[in-house]
Structure 1
């Protein structure tokens, strides 16, 4: 059997700092730089980079962290290699606990689609390991250390969750006639952390476990890629949600403060803060519409598969975040703030007009009295 974990790992370029640099990006030079970086890594062997004849950039992939870096995705590129990581190194990577992969030899396969890159990290096992997903952690962190160390061109990056929160096994089904090619057997227990899923293949359809593995990674790659696109959509909505919360808290603080200074602050600052809140709400709504449209496209193209854990997680990631931000209710709060400010503004105008009218009347009376 094989044990494996899944993640979103890819090689970015440190030469890209803004969208203008993407247009000048050379995929040939980037792949050459990736190869050079990997060949310099100790314990890495059997490196192979499969690529189409004509290279292109499909999309500028944005990372999930705060630096807003842009990373190119080069479609249909496949990077394969083997990595030997002694138990001692694995335990150093985890720091606070030991590694539970039960192996020191890993096979890494990174497949670039059109929107994201998917990594399958696997190894042979005679019995089910304690935690196959740990292999993603040790490989990811080791490559981060090795690739990003003193490298001026290539940047190894990750989009979480990496690992995908499931410990996977891959083996032949005992009742092969009852399945077509592959099936998922979910033995997860609620409340125990990562899920446990065994992928069974029909031994009559494949000459070996390696042949079945190649077919499985090819078939599942797009589903997993869509899951990580859904993660990007969720992250975009989540970022807007945090901004909305910050602006809303700032507005509430303005309303709760008392005194003359607070009154003047409300009068002058409330409009701009309300505008910022509205902009964040509109951005969130835009990202929610993008998420919903993406999900509809997946359904239309038949990429939401019944019984697939990747499809189930894709739907869940988008649904959970889209339901979290009550745009309509917060919009009502914004409307109330604006109405309140307009009333204060109208009252201020009337007061100023009254004061000015009285002053003008007094001046005219004084002038006529002379």
Structure 2
């Protein structure tokens, strides 16, 4: 297996909300990772500045303004004994793999992380599990140390594909030295990458990371935007359900609330629905332009279908369902207002009539 490499892909980013400068971010990140006994060779390359406006999960206030490097990469090696890996419930294969190499590229579009299984003497059946093992181990160690640094992740981490690199030739041509073959499965798909036999496997792996990281970066950008659409649709559904429950309540107090106070919430919900729909349309248009630019000259490294699938998830059906329910509630609310107005005017007519009658009787003595 010396000519074969196994790796997984995800998005794991050191998170330090309090970092005010690049030097502080670098020092605290290095200190936190080097304090983990089994982590070695922590390095930073090409990191010159921080982006203080990056949002991990777009639209989630808890993930707003996380300072991360604008460019460059962070790398380290980690040893995770098999006895600890069992706690995570995701076996890599029949043989033991305890060493992993991790590199995070801080791409301008979105960060992306590669985890390579370090052993070349065993066969790995589930390379995607390596991302879970590394992620859970690092998170646990940072939490145990009560570190100021935590590990931000965006799903799917791992990317739902098992990745392999071996000598040979695939149907999808990436470059003169790299090709690929995609196999769809019920669970995780499998992508086999191949390199020319005259080249070194380590050199080919680095070339593959460089060739694929832009596509992975766009995937996680699309995923983050997809999550924001899902969150908006979900929040709209919750608000619609709450308004529906208000209309089911009985009693005079509930009637007064529906008549006088519900209109403001209905208007806000309608605006949220319009905003969610427009946002989905805007993001779809932007993603289409990104995909056209990304694949204008080639078919990439076999990931196009995954990017398209995420970009196309708009959740318009969920939004439309909420809109229809809001229309029904709006109609019911209008009926409540009309009924109240009819009753009020009838009552007012009775009162005015009584007052006029009393006045006339008084006048005529």
Return closer, same or farther for 1:196/1:11 CA change in 2, 3 Å cut-off. same
Distance in structure 2 (CA, Å) of the matches to 1:269 and 1:309: 54
Question: Structure 1 stretch 315-324 or stretch 220-229: which is displaced more?
Answer: 315-324
Aligned to 2:189: 195
Task: Work out which of the residue numbers 117, 120, 123 in structure 2 matches 1:125.
Answer: 120
Residue pair 1:176, 1:203 contacting (<8 A) in 2 also: no
Distance in 2 between residues matched to 1:90 and 1:307, nearest whole Å? 34
- Unpaired segments ≥5 residues, structure 2: none
Alignment of 1:325 with 2:318, yes or no, is yes
**The residue matched to 1:45 in structure 2 has which SS?**
strand
Match of 1:249 in 2: 241
Counterpart-to-counterpart distance in 2, 1:346 and 1:175: 70
1:40 paired residue number: 35
Distance in 2, matches of 1:45 and 1:287, equals 44
**Matched ranges for 1:310-349 at <5 A:** 310-327=303-320, 330-349=322-341
Question: Is the 2:10–2:131 contact (alpha carbons within 8 Å) kept by the matching residues of 1?
Answer: yes
Q: d(CA) in 2 for partners of 1:234 and 1:143?
A: 27
**In structure 1, what is the Cα distance between the partners aligned to 2:21 and 2:31?**
16
Distance 2:37 2:147 in 1: 19
Cα distance change on mapping 1:82 and 1:62 into 2, 3 Å: closer
Task: Look up the SS of the partner of 1:32 in the other structure.
Answer: helix
TM-score (norm 2): 0.86
Contact 1:184 1:307 in 2 (8 A): no
Match of 2:13 in 1: 10
Give the equivalent residue in structure 2 for 1:61: 55
Distance 1:60 1:177, change over 3 A: closer
Q: 2:89 matched to 1:86?
A: no
Change (3 A) 1:226 1:324: farther
Separation in structure 2 between the aligned mates of residue 59 and residue 315 of structure 1, nearest angstrom: 26
Return the alpha-carbon distance in structure 2 between the equivalents of residues 215 and 86 of structure 1.
29
C-alpha deviation, 1:116, in angstroms: 2.3
- 1:351 CA drift (Å): 2.7
Please report how far the alpha carbon of residue 319 of structure 1 lies from its aligned counterpart in structure 2 after TM superposition.
1.4
Measure, in 2, the Cα distance between the counterparts of 1:353 and 1:365: 18
Map of 1:369 onto structure 2:
361
Asked if 2 retains the 8 angstrom alpha-carbon contact of 1:81 and 1:107, the reply is yes
Aligned to 2:180: 184
Distance in 1 (CA, whole Å) between partners of 2:92 and 2:82 is 7
Contact 2:233 2:315 in 1 (8 A): no
For 2:55 and 2:35, how far apart are their aligned partners in 1? 26
Report the CA distance between 1:143 and its aligned residue. Answer: 0.9
Number of residues of Structure 1 aligned to a counterpart in Structure 2: 354
1:73 corresponding residue in structure 2: 68
**Deviations 1:318-338, CA, capped at 9 Å, x for gaps:** 3134454343x5434433433
SS across alignment from 1:254 = helix
Equivalent in the alignment of 1:20 = none
Q: For structure 1, which runs of at least 5 residues remain unmatched after alignment?
A: 17-24
Task: Give the root-mean-square deviation of aligned CA atoms.
Answer: 2.8
